[in-house]
Chain A
């Protein structure tokens, strides 16, 4: 049941994300920079958790 809910939420989210290709707010040219920034931030967050 949890997996099903997660999948449904992912599909709904993906549907909205698919709109991003038409959207000026989500500038693809900045996408790589923003995603790298997020990935870097997440890696830093992950590395400060207790092992």
Chain B
């Protein structure tokens, strides 16, 4: 029997960074479970995160050229166990200082050593895996990136409330008025009676009206498109024509602004026709993401496909897009779930549409899937059972009090409706979801992280960074259950690696989901659905 194929197991920079992420991640989870989420202090979270993001982007672009050499040097460096021990000591001091008396809580004499022990633990953890001289060289290679990053983070932090205030204050009133007038114009074409109060920014119909507050203005959507647009222009800089490509930026912003006005009109229309709960509880919270996803993909598609923008032309439509074969079923589930959430109030009655969407995508690419080897072995169900046990155990450890009864809406429905919904929910969990997720994560992402032409990597081959990153991504999509999701991703990865057959991961995943479905229904543990 052939064992799992692991590529490049020596400890280069990439592997060490992966282990560092795992080490700090596991410790973060353990600390969060023990003393709650550590606070960064009032208002420091946003500038710190923004600065870190800018530093990573700017620093990486500067340090990229020297990474292979640094990584090669690290291959021969030993892990510093003394540093790792000191890291554990600093962590213990941090934990010991994490249970203050009420008097200590606001005292600087308590806060300063606690903060110092946390920073010390992180630094010592880094030094354990990356020797201080190498870490220092890495920092030196980033040049003045940290200055720009700090300045950019602090500016973004200070500008944020200003941007938000623009909606209601005089300097930004132009955009406010134009948006309000555009919404008014669109509404007048839909409804004969439109109620509008410009001073209060209230608009609607006699049956349903909304007040467009600053947080609902759509400014953040424009900001997100601006960030994505600048990044994507930079990313494609060698493949697109300048200066005309720069026009895509205002075009994207304009499209987002128009869609924002359409969103407000649709919100009012849904409420007007009697579905106030759906308008407020569903559509209101989903429409932003739907618009942003649509504009982002349209923007990227236009830059790549329009000859006026693109230097490099896309493949002819007749050529099969292999990434689509692996990704579209999963994307169909995600896209339909955004729509079904938008059309739901408190309970997702339209969940069966996710199953329909995935079935359509799988049917569309059915010929491509026939070429994959779907033979099964005993290891799939075994790993599936192990993941189920792990999932339940972690749930009990991390969220011991979250068990919930059947949703009220479902319990109140007729027996036929309830049974049909539960059957399709269980059917989706055991068929389309495992197939779509395994195609996307183990079939595509795991291999795509190793090579751009992912199909040159046989199924079952993996590198630790690729397996870890694809599992973390898989875990991130499971929300608060990200730890269980990440560990499950690792185990499903091993299921594929054992024989190089995707079917093993699919059957493992289906087994887990089938057992979870049974657990939900038999033990009344609806929090898992």
A25 to B262, CA, bound (A): 13
With A and B bound together, what is the CA distance between A44 and B46 in angstroms? 32
Cα distance A23–B160 when bound, in Å? 13
| B327 and A19 form a contact (CB under 8 A) | no
B289 and A26: CB pair below 8 A? yes
Contact between A40 and B284, CB atoms less than 8 A apart: no
5 contacts between A and B (CB under 8 A): A16-B160, A25-B284, A26-B221, A33-B337, A45-B304
Residues of B within 8 A of A (CB): 46, 50, 54, 148, 152, 155-157, 159-160, 162-164, 215-216, 218-227, 230-231, 233-234, 239, 249, 263, 284-290, 292-293, 296-297, 300-301, 304, 312-315, 319, 321-324, 327-328, 330-331, 334-335, 337-338, 341, 440, 444, 448, 473, 476-477, 479
User: Measured between alpha carbons, how far is A46 from B327 in the docked complex, in Å?
Assistant: 13
Contact with B along A23-42 (1 / 0, CB 8 A): 11111011111101110111
Roughly how many angstroms separate A46 CA and B222 CA in the complex, as a whole number? 24
> Which of A14, A24, A27: most chain B CB closer than 10 A?
A14
Indicate whether A19 sits within 8 Å of B334 (C-beta atoms), given known contacts A6-B234, A25-B216, A42-B297: no
User: Do B50 and A14 have beta carbons less than 8 Å apart?
Assistant: yes
By the criterion CB–CB under 8 Å, are A43 and B156 in contact? no
**Contact of A15 with B162 at beta-carbon distance under 8 Å, contacts A24-B216, A40-B327 already known:** yes
> Do A32 and B230 form a contact, CB below 8 Å, given A14-B152, A16-B163?
no
Q: Is A18 an interface residue (CB 8 A)?
A: yes
B477 with A36: CB separation less than 8 A: yes
**Residue on A nearest B214 in the bound complex, by CB:** A19
Q: Is the CB of B215 within 8 A of A24?
A: yes
A30–B324 CB distance below 8 A: no
B317 closest partner in A (C-beta):
A48
How many Å from the CB of B501 to the closest CB on chain A? 23
Cβ-closest chain B residue relative to A21: B46
> Number of A-B pairs whose CB atoms are under 8 Å?
183
What are the nearest 10 A-B pairs in CB distance?
A16-B223, A25-B288, A15-B159, A13-B226, A13-B227, A47-B323, A34-B289, A27-B285, A18-B160, A14-B156
Q: How many residues of A are in contact with the other chain, CB < 8 A?
A: 41
CB distance from B234 to the nearest CB of A (A): 6
User: Do residues A15 and B337 form an inter-chain contact, with CB atoms below 8 A?
Assistant: no
A18 CB, min distance to chain B CBs, angstroms: 4
Q: Least Cβ distance of A13 to chain B in Å?
A: 3
What residue in chain A is nearest B224 (Cβ atoms)?
A: A17
Verify A36–B164 contact, CB threshold 8 A: no
B315 contacts across to A, CB distance below 8 A: 48-50
A21 to B314: give the CA distance in the assembly, Å.
Answer: 37
A40 to chain B, nearest CB (A): 5
A22, B223: Cβ atoms closer than 8 Å: no
Given A23-B215, A25-B216, A49-B304, is A37 in contact with B331 using a C-beta cutoff of 8 Å?
Answer: yes
| Beyond A6-B230, A37-B331, 17 extra complex contacts between A and B, CB < 8 Å | A11-B159, A12-B163, A15-B223, A16-B219, A19-B223, A25-B263, A25-B284, A26-B288, A33-B477, A34-B293, A34-B338, A36-B330, A36-B331, A38-B292, A43-B327, A44-B324, A44-B327
Whether the Cβ atoms of B314 and A19 lie closer than 8 Å is no
Residues of B within 8 A of A43 (CB): 323, 327, 444, 448
- Complex Cα spacing A48 to B323, Å: 8
Q: Are A48 and B159 in contact (CB under 8 A)?
A: no
The answer to whether B292 and A34 have CB atoms under 8 Å apart is yes
| CB-based contact B152/A11 at 8 Å | yes
Contact assessment for A40 and B226 in the assembled complex, using a CB-CB cutoff below 8 Å: no
User: Does the CB pair A30–B46 fall under 8 Å?
Assistant: no
